Amino acid sequence: MVVLDATIVNIALPSMAKYFDRSQTDMTWAINAYTLAFGGLLLLGGRAGDILGRRQMFIFGLGLFSLGSLLGGLATSFQMLLVGRVIQGIGGAIAAPTALSLITTSFAEGRDRNRAFAVYAGVSAAGAAIGLLAGGILTEYLDWRWVLFVNVPIGIALMIGGYLYIHSSERLSGRFDILGAVLSVAGMVGLVYGFIHAAHDGWSNSVTVGTLTLSVILLGAFVAWEAYTPNAMMPLRIFANRSRSGSYLVMLIIGAAMFGMFYFLTFFVQGVLGYSALKAGVAFLPFCAVIVIGSGFASQIMPRSGPKILITGGVALATVALFLFSRVTATTTYWGGLFPAMMVMAAGLSLVFVPLTSTAVSKVAPTDAGLASALLNVGQQVGGSIGLSVLATVAATASRNSFKNEVAKLPPGSRQHFADLAASSTSGRPPSVGR
């Protein structure tokens, strides 16, 4: 449901932008409001599952996610939409790591857990595929609100199923690390917000610099406190395994690539290629199909090859795909440019997801499963915020510079009017083609 929500909302972004009269840059907040809450609370959500019970927190997170979806679907203002997305993010920060930790504690390490992770990756990819297609259908034939309403019955069904069929697992004893929770949430929210703000106002902006600096200080204090306190929310022993620490770093890089790629591709296929929301959803289906198939393949060969070869090969393919995406221009066609790059990217990611997830929770104590799962999600979300903020900054700067260069070629008497429009574009609301 969490993965479905990300793709289903992406497809509806252009329609949301028209309804709320917002620019493409403004609509990043429909993604970032969720990312801010999700990324900021992941560590706390994962550890809360270890201490308070994964089954209970999983159901609670689903309830919050469903509530946020309902509020977002009922939104009559852009601000109300963002509130709903924040509540969704809080629910997702609780549900996502507890879901992965429940799988970790339910299956023995080795063949059974690898197969479970392959199913997990396949279901995630299927969720992405269903989200893209359903987002197109709902936006095309009903309304963008239904891309949020659809989560409500799914969430209720999952809450009932979780109560009936998921068993309680071993909990972590001890007191809750209140100071560590405060420092981690404040530091993570500041870090994610700093990257988001950079996308809107630039890296030299005082708020951007101040927020990122403060977040580094808070996260540094968090690490220092965790090394000192006996009831650490994030005991540093979790990073003692070098392979596990490496998996978090790789996921951060993958997240940076994926978030920016999907955001701009969604606007490209609808805004440049002129695809409808439904056709855009269908255009992404091959990408998800390759991940479903590739994840099953990776789970079969990983016991023989080991995770290192698969992760290295997958990252290499993803790098090639990003290079191909960098060659896309306004005249690029779907079959001639986008489709080949999407297939290479999907093949690369399908080789990465299963071994990366397996390595992240390998040899971890059952009482730390929620934390290990949360850290993997943290890498993805923080990486996504970095990737989206950097690419949004580059895109906005390139657009302004190109517009100003075209204005400079106009006769002197016409320049002032277009200079005013260029100035207005710095606020994130570029002039329309019609004007």
Return the domain boundaries, the chain: 2-401
Chain CA centroid to CA 172, Å: 28
Rg (CA), the chain: 22
pLDDT of residue 430: 37
- What is the pLDDT tens value at each position of the chain, 435 positions in all? 887 777 778 778 888 888 888 876 677 778 778 877 887 787 788 778 878 888 888 999 999 999 999 999 999 888 899 999 999 989 988 988 888 888 888 887 777 887 787 788 777 766 766 777 777 788 778 888 888 898 899 899 999 998 888 877 666 666 777 888 888 888 888 887 887 777 667 778 888 889 989 999 998 998 888 888 877 778 788 788 888 888 888 888 888 888 778 778 877 888 889 888 778 778 888 887 888 888 888 888 887 888 888 989 999 999 999 999 988 888 899 998 899 999 999 999 888 888 888 888 777 777 777 778 778 877 877 787 778 777 877 777 777 777 777 777 777 766 666 666 655 544 444 333 332
C-beta separation of 266 from 10 below 8 A: yes
pTM: 0.75
**The token pair that represents 131 in the structure block:** 């989200």
pLDDT of residue 419: 61
| Of the options 1.20.1250.20, 3.40.190.170, 3.40.50.2000, 3.90.1150.10, the CATH number for the domain spanning 2-401 | 1.20.1250.20
Task: Render 131-179 in DSSP notation, one character per residue.
Answer: HHHHHHHHHHHT-TTHHHHTHHHHHHHHHHHHHHHPPP-PPPPS---HH
Instruction: Write the DSSP symbol of residue 108.
Output: -
**The token pair that represents 230 in the structure block:** 């006996």
- Closest-CA residue to 107 (of 97, 119, 95, 96): 119
